Amino acid sequence: MSKRDYYEVLGVGRDASEREIKKAYKRLAMKYHPDRNPGDATAEKHFKEAKEAYEILTDSNKKAAYDQFGHAGVDPNQGGGFGGGGSADFGDIFGDMFGDIFGGRGGGGQRRAARGADLRYNLELSLEEAVKGLTKEIRVPTLVGCDTCDGSGAKKGSSSSTCGTCNGAGQVQMRQGFFAVNQECPTCHGRGKVIKDPCNKCRGEGRIEKTKTLSVKIPAGVDNGDRIRLSGEGEAGEFGAPAGDLYVQVSVREHNIFVRDGNNLYCEVPISFSKAALGGEIEVPTLDGKVNLKIPAETQTGRMFRMRGKGVKSVRSHAVGDLLCKVVMETPVNLNERQKELLREFEESLCGDTKAKKKHSPKAEGFFDGVKKFFQDLNS
């Protein structure tokens, strides 16, 4: 059965960058990973297919061969014309040149075992957790070194042997006409060695899938988009190579009272008409508990009060922000007849004459004077 085009498998164009290829693979790996689809043979097939495509298209040598010759360029079983590291011919003159053009090593030797991939874990926190800091336990599916073969891939008591395809060179010669291009050996993948008696647990991969439980210390003051790096907690490297890193990406949930802006916190506090007019004290919330806020007489709705040092302590500079409280005057509702009557009497006492209007409502008086002048200018 013919294989699907690797670019089609990953859903990317042939001009896709390595970053785009990696992003597409991670998306498919998350969707079809066997841990997420236990017993699903179709998902397992898609996962292996995506992994194979990713390994070919992120290796510059294999990708160059695949782009030029298709599957035949990377699979010796499809008649791609691979040869071992044997005698040179006229095409060898062009070997280095074509190796450079197609991203090859141009006669460079064995490939080192690859470092493990970096991983990202998205961690959602409440505002209180982000501000105060804490230690969180997270579970991360990843690849770890096989504990049975110690990451070698070979069954205990055995070892790897020299690759018969490339005779240990790590590269093979691909011929097209009289041209010859050196490419990574498809049998040993550039290592120069093969495992004839693989470990039963990891099947010769040297790594196994496992979900790790890690404790992550979240420093006080982290914010949306901050990353915490856990060195060496990413995927295990190939055959004993160093592991990658794990990056914990922080996101903070919206709060029902506070809005954060840098190190400052904002909140709206409703106050009654009488409290705004006469002044007094009100209770306002902070992340450390309630505090009293003094409201001066004749406070207008929308006025901002600053409570210093009641914000967030910066994770970098350790400077502490402020809490800014915006008071919003609340219009009373569900009034009875007596309350309505008292308000009408109060309104009449304020608007009895022009002087009273200007005295008690200077903003309103100025606004309506401006409106009157506007229409006069419009009609003149």
- Per-residue DSSP letter, 67: H
Please state, in angstroms and rounded to a whole number, the distance separating the CA atoms of residues 68 and 176. 11
Assign 180 to helix, strand or coil.
strand
Q: Quick one: which of 286, 290, 255, 284 has its CA closest to 271?
A: 284
Query: Where is 338: in which H helix or E strand?
Result: helix 337-350
Length of the chain: 380
- What lies within 8 Å, CB to CB, of 282 at 6+ separation is 269, 271, 275, 292, 293, 295
CA 56-178-85 angle, 5° bins: 55
- Per-residue DSSP letter, 253: P
Assign 66 to helix, strand or coil.
helix
Check the CA dihedral 43-47-53-57 and report its sign. positive
Binding residues for Zn(2+): 146, 149, 163, 166, 185, 188, 199, 202
Please state, in angstroms and rounded to a whole number, the distance separating the CA atoms of residues 300 and 277. 8
Which residues are 295's β-sheet partners? Answer: 280
Please state, in angstroms and rounded to a whole number, the distance separating the CA atoms of residues 268 and 256. 11
Task: Say how many C-beta atoms besides its own lie within 10 A of residue 167's C-beta.
Answer: 14
Binding residues: 146, 149, 163, 166, 185, 188, 199, 202
Please state, in angstroms and rounded to a whole number, the distance separating the CA atoms of residues 68 and 102. 9
- The burial class, CB within 10 Å (0-12 / 13-18 / 19+), for 44 is middle
